[in-house]
Amino acid sequence: MILGCVLVGAVACDGGSSAADTDAQSTEETGASPTSGASGGSGSAEGGEGVTGSMSGGSSTSGASDDDDTGITSAGTGLPDGDGCCDAHAGPSCNEQSVAVCVCAAEPECCVFDWFESCAELAQSRCDAACDSDGSSTSDTDAGSETAGMACDETVLIELGAVDADLSGDWSITTSQAGEGEIAVVDGNADGEVRWDVDIPCDDTWIIWVRLFDQGSADSFFATLDGEPSPPAIFEGGIQGPGQGWNWRDLNWRDPDDAATFIEDPWAPQWAEGQHSIALSYRESVAVARIEITNDPDYAP
């Protein structure tokens, strides 16, 4: 694996919007190819904003406050103190911001009242909470904590090509004739995945950029981070416009039932120092060239 960490200057990046998901078009229908004949992208994309805002958790509101419409009580429920996403506790939200955003998008009361058992179950089943085998938050333990480690004190950029990935199934490496160098393409039954194992040097929130082949409506992948979620998330790679060629898109997690709604955009994991994985598998797009991972929310390739 080739991994480079370099200091990068901040580049302003407008908030991006994803194209709505449509039925896949074949290469024969559009006449475009990831290796030749496609008009190359400009090398820039509208990047998403970094993870913003904060969720307060781990403390209960003072005094009992009943909601007459829902019957939910924000205090006096008997829930234990805590702030882990994997366990029910008094007080709203939990200590993994990306998990809290995901859970509260589905159940807003989890960030208004207490973190009920249903919130903890949703955190584990759908929102990729970091939990021990017994279901408790790894951040609640001293050893092996997801949040324990050395925080980043500088801007980091990690650049990885298709040749740095582990390919399986019908994915293979070929040379692009459109100036993209060596790329990963899928053929046959479209089984397998392209997986990068990335050495993260310090604890931070990480933005992941993907250089992908956008062939009209054939512009999305299935994606997982550290093997989650299951089933894989939909990464909507398209940008506004005809989309005939290569473009950069920051990783996102699109609602599988609504092409206009995103569970996380950008999908920016809070990774601790150590090795983590990024995997893409075929959904519509047939090729990917490289990825860039950075802790600079304003960076855009």
Cα 45 to Cα 25: distance, rounded to the nearest angstrom:
22
Contact 163, 112 (CB under 8 A): no
Cα 57 to Cα 81: distance, rounded to the nearest angstrom:
10
Is 85 in a helix, a strand, or coil?
Answer: coil
Contact 93, 115 (CB under 8 A): yes
- The count of residues in the chain is 301
**Dihedral, CA of residue 145, residue 150, residue 155 and residue 159, to nearest 10:** -60
69-72: long-range contacts at Cβ-Cβ below 8 A with a sequence spacing of 24 or more? 70/109, 72/109, 72/113, 72/114
Question: What per-residue confidence (pLDDT) applies to 137?
Answer: 58
pTM confidence score: 0.56
Chain-centre distance of CA 270, in angstroms?
Answer: 10
Q: Which residues of 228-257 are buried (b: 16+ CB within 10 A; e: fewer)?
A: ebeebbbbbbbbeeebbbbbbbbbbbbeee
| Amino acid making up residue 256 | P
Contact 247, 214 (CB under 8 A): yes
Output Rg (C-alpha) for the chain, integer angstroms.
21
Is 120 in a helix, a strand, or coil?
Answer: helix
Backbone angles phi, psi at 183, to 5 degrees: -130, 160
| Superfamily of 27-51+154-294 according to CATH | Galactose-binding domain-like (2.60.120.260)
Q: What angle do CA 12, 16, 224 make, to 5 degrees?
A: 110
Contact 116, 108 (CB under 8 A): no
Residue ranges of the domains in the chain? 27-51+154-294
Could you list the pLDDT tens digit for every one of the 301 residues in the chain?
333 333 333 333 333 333 334 443 434 444 456 875 444 433 333 433 333 333 333 433 333 344 444 334 344 578 898 899 999 999 999 999 889 999 999 999 999 899 999 999 999 988 988 887 555 555 443 333 344 568 999 999 999 999 999 999 999 999 998 889 999 999 877 899 999 999 999 999 999 999 999 988 889 999 999 999 999 999 999 865 566 789 999 999 999 998 889 999 999 999 999 999 999 999 999 999 999 999 999 999 9
Strands (E), 56-104: none
Cα 172 to Cα 167: distance, rounded to the nearest angstrom:
7
Is 153 in a helix, a strand, or coil?
Answer: coil
Write down the residue that tokens 């103190």 correspond to.
Answer: 81
Cα 124 to Cα 121: distance, rounded to the nearest angstrom:
5
